[in-house]
Structure 1
Amino acid sequence: MKIGAGATRPCRLTPFLAVAAVAAAALLLLFRASPHALAYSPARVPPAGPPLVARGPGSPPSFAYWISGTGGDRRRILRLLGAVYHPRNRYLLHLDAGASREERTELAEAVQAEAAWKGFANVDVVGESYAVDRTGSSMLAAALHGAAVLLRIGADWDWLITLSSWDYPLVTQDDLLYAFSSVPRDLNFIDHSSDLGWKKHERFEKVIVDSSLYMDKNSEPIAATETRQMPEAFKIFTGSPWVILSRNFTEHCVHGWDNLPRKLLMYFANAAYSMESYFQTLICSSPGFRNTAVNGDLRYFVWDDPPGLEPLVLDESHFHKMANSTAAFARRFVEDAPVLKKVDDELLNRSVWCLHSGEKEGGGGGLESCSKWGDVNVVRPGRAGEKLRRFVSEISRVRGCAVAAS
């Protein structure tokens, strides 16, 4: 592996069937020819002959990013994409039914307008419109959909990272690639716990119907009056909805060579905030994957006291703690917040692969466009990369799923 020394970084379906149908049909998604197809992507013939990306043993790892948003999030997603972009990675952008067809088209056109994104042909935009509600299982269905598409269009990534338009990185991609080069590529970074507390009744004994699974527009879930017993066939784990999954485990979630992934999908179809429990329960209930679970998501949050359903919005008052944390990503940020420019200026910059930055383009979220590239198989971390590498190696020593005392 070539790693440079420290560089300066200045029909209507029932909810059960709907979730399964979305996951099963995901592999049929990607068409690229016209703006009326199911998905858009940049031209597959790069204009300037970008360098080949080395894969396999001895080469740095690579990530697949699933970046999601809703109506009005086009600029936020483009800015986030610019901040996490590296030619080694693959990216799939999704705007849900809250966005118009015009906004999805504009997102695809902006991707094609950026020289590096078009040249390396590693950014795709989902053109299919379907409803998503973050409190229901439609969010889980969307994530599994994205995972299935990324498995089909990219055969050479090592980890899947889920992000939303509210997120932003705290380290460069060189730092992140360097940090993950120190651990086995079958590890899964999933914040998890079997101590359910108040969630036992509010999330799992209560039953909801996520109407976004069968409606054309984003809709709030409907709460049932009946309750249900806690499951006996498996133990529920819960945690952060933002995960970093190995390719092997992602394939298990999508293809499920045993029945557990589908059985859990049916159960969590009627649970609130299923993104906070599905991957946790599946990995901790799967003997072949349990010992690949690392209890951490590498995210920076600030919670109110007592905590609400969402972390606090971050601003410049949080910058020092963010910059000195061991997190790779943070949330939540409002669009064009001054703290984002501070993160850009002080924590992020172009990696060594970009040799020339042109004029700023709106399609890049205000970031400079990269028009000339160098060796994409060299990663040069800074001090943040060294710190993140030590932290990732440290938390990776403890693996598995501990069960809390009853």
Structure 2
Amino acid sequence: MGAEKKWLYTMFSGAFITFLIFLSFISGFSSSYYYAFPPSKQFSSTADHWPGRPPSFAYYISGKRGDGDRLYRLLLAVYHPRNRYLLHISADGSDEERVRLGEIVKSLPAVRAFGNVDVIGKPDPNTYMGSTNLAAILRAVAVLLKVDEGWDWFISLSATDYPLITQDDLSHVFSSIRRDLNFIDHTSELGWKESQRIQPIVVDPGIYLARRTQIFHATEKRPFPDAFTVFTGSPWVVLSRSFLEFCAFGWDNLPRTLLMYFTNVVLSEEVYFHTVICNSPEFSNTTVNADLRYFVWDDPTKMEPHALSSSDYEEMAKSGAAFARQFEKDSVVLDMIDRNILKRDPNRATPGAWCRGRGSWWMDPCSQWGDVNAVKPGPQANTFGNSIDKLLDGWNERSDMCVK
């Protein structure tokens, strides 16, 4: 019995120390940590956020070493003056790469005018399957909450993602839905994940070591929790501002309690938000069980979906998804999406109702703008809108939104 108590004391002491390091890792945002581009001049149109105006989105777009060009292309594909953007190249990238990304982002006239894009200057590590990934997301949430009071939904994208609709399409469809809804794929049917993901105790050295390394496992497993129900699902989410304020400010202790537990879980970004929202009476009935992404899994299933190509384009375009993943760098299918769906030329933002310039080979139509609160949806908005309608029809028929 004495040996068992000693083992339990060692295990929980180690887990608690890891959590304290984790908290210090995600806290302490300072303006010196990012390249901020404040508005450089007065302009005729401002983004209004009062009721009746289109919604705004906060994008966290992340990548690793060598992904600077991909992040920039993705930013152009999802850019709109009403939104807010935070770009992150993880700690394995160089400062030169971040500076270069910041410089090329600032070359966009709209970014200089509206000041709505930031590049993180003090990067976070991203350990494969470790909790540093969740720490980076929570930090991004904190930054975006701090720098912009107007956005309605948070969207996380990686350098391997790409949109299947324009921002006008997204704003148009989301204008008609409740702004407290959260699009998060989730289930409490864990299956093999219970024994292989939840019960094993892992430590992410990226929390406390400067060099890049891998997670390591404790020799023992811990009992499955019974104080709360564990939910899992896709790490790619569209979450409401109100829910993320709850996670960040935590007027209930639930977000902190679950953060302590999931710090030592494999792929914590696949369980943290899902478990917090479904165990919170205030938010559990705001979940829509979908991540709004299109991807195709190999058979047998691997850790990541297969790389999409031109042969997947037709199914992708009619899927009703807002985003797709994953794509190889400079894939031909990305050019097809730009040309056929986004109507976007190389090195230019996706045009929308806010763009007022005359488009030509030598002039970007979005280098001049009018009313940034105007929205003009395209044909793809119908496909996306029908998909959302089906999701909400099923949502309205349920009394308990979190799938048990």
Instruction: Report the TM-score, using the length of structure 2 for normalisation.
Output: 0.90
What is the match of residue 352 of structure 2?
A: 351
Task: Work out the number of aligned pairs and report it.
Answer: 378
Are the counterparts in 2 of residues 193 and 403 from structure 1 also a CA contact under 8 Å?
yes
What secondary structure, in the 3-state scheme, does the structure 2 residue paired with 1:194 have? coil
1: CA distance between counterparts of 2:78 and 2:144? 17
What CA deviation, in whole Å up to 9, does each residue of 1:59-113 have, x standing for no partner? 1001000111111010000000000001110001111101101111111111111
Query: Which residue in the other structure is 1:23 paired with?
Result: 26
Structure 2 vs 1, CA of residues 358 and 113 (structure 1 numbering), >3 Å: closer, same or farther? farther
Q: Distance in 2 between matches of 1:109 and 1:43?
A: 14
Percent sequence identity is 48
Matched, 1:304 2:298: yes
Looking at structure 1, the residues matched to 207 and 158 of structure 2 have their Cα atoms a distance apart, in angstroms, of 20
Distance 2:358 2:213 in 1: 42
Structure possessing the higher radius of gyration over alpha carbons: 2
Whether the 8 Å contact between 1:162 and 1:244 is mirrored in structure 2 is: yes
User: Is 1:38 paired with 2:33?
Assistant: yes
Instruction: State the SS of the aligned residue for 1:356.
Output: coil
What is the aligned counterpart of 1:100 among 81, 94, 107?
94
- For 2:273 and 2:50, the matched residues in 1 are separated by 27
C-alpha distance after superposition, 1:349-382 (max 9, x if no partner): 3112112277889xxxxx9573111221111112
Residue 286 in 1 paired to residue 280 in 2? Answer: yes
Whether the 8 Å contact between 1:352 and 1:379 is mirrored in structure 2 is yes
- Deviations along 1:18-49, one digit per CA (max 9) or x if unpaired, are 22223332xx33x2xxxxx3210224323x62
User: Contact 1:358–1:371 (CA<8 Å) still a contact in 2?
Assistant: no
CA offsets 1:222-254 (integer angstroms, 9 cap, x no match): 122111111011010000000000000010111
The residue number in structure 1 matching 2:372 is 376
Q: Do the aligned residues in 2 keep the contact of 1:327 with 1:388 (CA within 8 Å)?
A: yes
Q: Distance in 2 between matches of 1:378 and 1:243?
A: 26
**TM-score between both structures, scaled by the size of structure 1:** 0.89
Question: How far apart, in 1, do the equivalents of 2:111 and 2:360 lie?
Answer: 15
Q: Relative to 1, partners in 2 of residues 1:137 and 1:369: Cα closer, same or farther, differing over 3 Å?
A: farther
Q: CA 1:357 to 1:266, structure 2 compared with 1: closer, same or farther past 3 Å?
A: farther
Q: Partner of 1:220: helix, strand, or coil? A: coil
Answering whether residue 153 of structure 2 is matched by residue 159 of structure 1, we say: yes
Q: In 2, distance between residues paired with 1:126 and 1:168?
A: 21
In 2: Cα distance, 1:125 partner to 1:14 partner? 31
Note the C-alpha offset of 1:130.
2.6
What is the deviation of 1:135?
A: 0.8
Distance 1:74 1:360, change over 3 A: farther
- Partner of residue 233 from structure 2, selected from 220, 223, 239: 239
Query: Does the Cα contact within 8 Å between 1:131 and 1:215 map onto a contact in 2?
Result: no
Q: Is residue 328 of structure 2 the alignment partner of residue 325 of structure 1?
A: no
Name structure 2 gaps, 5 residues minimum.
1-15, 344-350
Q: Give 1:55's aligned residue.
A: 49
Shift of 1:16: 1.1
Cα distance in 2, alignment partners of residues 244 and 223 from structure 1: 31
- Counterpart residue number, 1:8: none
Give the distance between the partners of 2:127 and 2:245, measured in 1 at CA.
Answer: 24
Write the distance in 2 (CA, Å) between the matches of 1:386 and 1:264: 39
SS in 2 for 1:117: helix
Query: Using CA pairs below 8 Å that are at least 6 residues apart, which structure has the higher relative contact order?
Result: 1
**Distance across 2 between alignment mates of 1:260 and 1:167:** 31
2-structure distance, mates of 1:101, 1:396: 44
Shift of 1:403: 4.7
Q: Which has the higher helix share?
A: 2
In structure 1, stretches of 5+ residues that fail to align are 1-12, 32-36, 362-366
Deviations 1:129-148 (CA, angstroms, capped at 9, x unpaired): 23112411110000000000
2:248 aligned partner:
254
Distance 1:369 1:140, change over 3 A: farther
What is the 5 A alignment of 1:135-150?
135-150=129-144
Query: Against the structure 1 CA distance between its residues 88 and 147, is the aligned structure 2 distance closer, same or farther, given a 3 Å change threshold?
Result: same
Between the aligned partners of 2:206 and 2:101, the Cα distance in structure 1 is: 23
Aligned to 1:121: 115
Give yes or no for the alignment of 1:222 onto 2:216. yes
Answering whether residue 263 of structure 2 is matched by residue 269 of structure 1, we say yes
Does structure 2 retain, via aligned residues, the 8 Å contact 1:131–1:219? no
Output the CA distance in 2 between the equivalents of 1:403 and 1:293: 10
Is 1:186 aligned to residue 180 of structure 2?
A: yes
The letter for the 2-side match of 1:393 is D
